[in-house]
Amino acid sequence: EPEVTQTPSHQVTQMGQEVILRCVPISNHLYFYWYRQILGQKVEFLVSFYNNEISEKSEIFDDQFSVERPDGSNFTLKIRSTKLEDSAMYFCASSGTGGGYGYTFGSGTRLTVV
Amino acid sequence: GENVEQHPSTLSVQEGDSAVIKCTYSDSASNYFPWYKQELGKRPQLIIDIRSNVGEKKDQRIAVTLNKTAKHFSLHITETQPEDSAVYFCAPRQGSNYKLTFGKGTLLTVNP
């Protein structure tokens, strides 16, 4: 079964540092997303990406965040200057044609800001 | 934006019993209604979904029912097993974009 792959699985960073989280969506999917989940809480939408541009972003996705699809396979989330409250599990997801049904989530990157 | 409420927040059942989790949403434009299962430290996994033109869908021990008029949909698990223990999230999707709005989750515990 096709998978969404995320790297790294764990990342520890100093407050104020930049981090890049990487994702390889399912190859024939067209829609890409980032979500985050603070420990013990619900999954929160950050951003959706389609046709090489952001289609929607949440209030959480401020100027410190950016996304990129630098080539035909990778999809990245960059946090420019990390804060303690950015500590969370970050999930990448992708979905296919037909209205974006059938989300598949990656296994996540646990980001810890110290 | 979409307001999603999920009840109950915790549910404890005996093995073999049924479990029902209900999700209410506010956006009448929502047209896709999935349920996700999340085990500790793992990704959300889609277990069943339903589209807005269908009232009920079943897959072995799992079923989802949708009431669009009342804006709620429910997850039904029959003959529960200990391995069903997890957090379950509803995540309705709005019509014009593909954002999922997750509920706060229901911790289901199935006691052997």
Q: What is the pLDDT of residue B63?
A: 98
Candidates A32, A53, A105: best to mutate against B (most CBs of B within 10 A) is: A105
Both structure tokens of A60? 């959480």
pLDDT at B40 over 80: yes
List the Cα angle A57/A35/A89 in 5-degree steps. Answer: 140
Q: How confident is the model at residue A109 (pLDDT cuts 50, 70, 90)?
A: very high
For A25-29, A84-88, B57-61, B67-71, which range has the lowest pLDDT when averaged over its residues? A25-29
B99 band by pLDDT with thresholds 50, 70 and 90:
confident
Q: What pLDDT is recorded for position A98?
A: 59
Mean pLDDT of B2-25: 97
What's the confidence (pLDDT) of residue A71? 86
Among B9, B40, B54, B99, pick the best mutation site for testing chain A contact (most A Cβ within 10 A): B99
Q: Please give the pLDDT value at position B65.
A: 97
At residue B92, the 3 state secondary structure works out as coil
pLDDT tens for each residue of A8-23: 999 999 999 999 999 9
Given an 8 Å threshold on Cβ–Cβ distance, is B98 in contact with A42?
Answer: no
- Residue B96 confidence class, pLDDT cut points 50, 70, 90: low
Q: Which residues of B touch A48 (CB under 8 A)?
A: 97-99
pLDDT at B80: 98
Give pLDDT tens digits for A38-94.
999 999 999 999 888 999 999 999 999 999 998 878 999 999 999 999 999 999 999
Within 8 A by CB and 6+ apart from A43, the residues are A35, A36, A37, A91, B44, B89, B91, B100, B102
pLDDT at position B21 over 60: yes
